[in-house]
Amino acid sequence: MLTSYSLALKHLSLNAGAGITNISIGSSLAIFDLHNFRDQMNVSPSSDLNPNCSRYMIARASILDDFKYITSLEFESPYHSIGYTKIQEYLEDVTKAMLLAILDGDSKRTTTVGIGSSYEKRKIFFNSLYKEEYRDKTIKPWSNSGIGWNSSYASVTPISISRSNNIATVVTNPPHGLSTEFDDWGVVMNLNTGIATSFNISTSTYPNGVPIRIKSPTTFEYDNIGINTTLSNISGNADIKVGWGGTSINLHLYFT
């Protein structure tokens, strides 16, 4: 059993500050881990390589036909220079693609491994990494029986919004109904009243919204750069999403 645990969990760090909050060893091994993502709400793959960022050399591989749909770059040589930031982005892209392929449902708030063949899981894995024009919109993560990663969870009605020190606070009526049990809520603001549009979230930049912090049954806040202001009698809606992580920018993993 030690070998199995070692292989399955070899990428988890048990060092202090790694985010693990509970370890119990007895009849079973249980570990609660917080995996930090750069952007927990978005599932879209990173942009193409930046040729001006030279830090590491990587070889171009074409082992599977699937790879040709992931990047549009045509290299003059089989090597290309990229920076450590891009390596981190690609690591996260692949990690998300693997989780989307393996986990049940839309891979959010799930505790079970999905049913399906290795071929089906491979299709989902690469479909998560494909460029827009090559994606199969009928399967995960872009669709899952009509419910994709970027699908709405709920639409709530804001009656006022304010910004102070680059933090936007939204008041809703009726109450938003979002449980404080979860910290993975996101929002896409769709306001259409004059200066209120400065609070909107670009779905091209943040297709699954930006993380929010629930302050009360009728109030939530999110980071939003702009001048301090308070607005009432606004019109529009707040499109609520669900992502991985939340205010802590973490994916919550529990191994037993």
pLDDT beyond 70 at 72: no
Q: How many residues does the chain have?
A: 256
pTM reported for the whole predicted model: 0.73
Distance CA 186, CA 183 (A): 9
Please write the tens of the pLDDT for every residue from 150-162.
888 999 999 999 9
- Domains of the chain, start order: 1-34 (no CATH), 37-148 (no CATH), 154-242 (2.40.30)
Beta strand segments in the chain, E: 22-25, 29-36, 56-59, 79-82, 154-156, 158-164, 167-172, 185-191, 210-211, 213-216, 219-223, 229-232, 236-242, 250-255
User: 174: cis peptide before it, omega within 30°?
Assistant: yes
pLDDT for position 63: 47
Q: Which tens digit of pLDDT belongs to each residue from 197-248?
A: 999 998 888 888 899 999 999 999 999 999 999 999 899 999 999 888 666 6
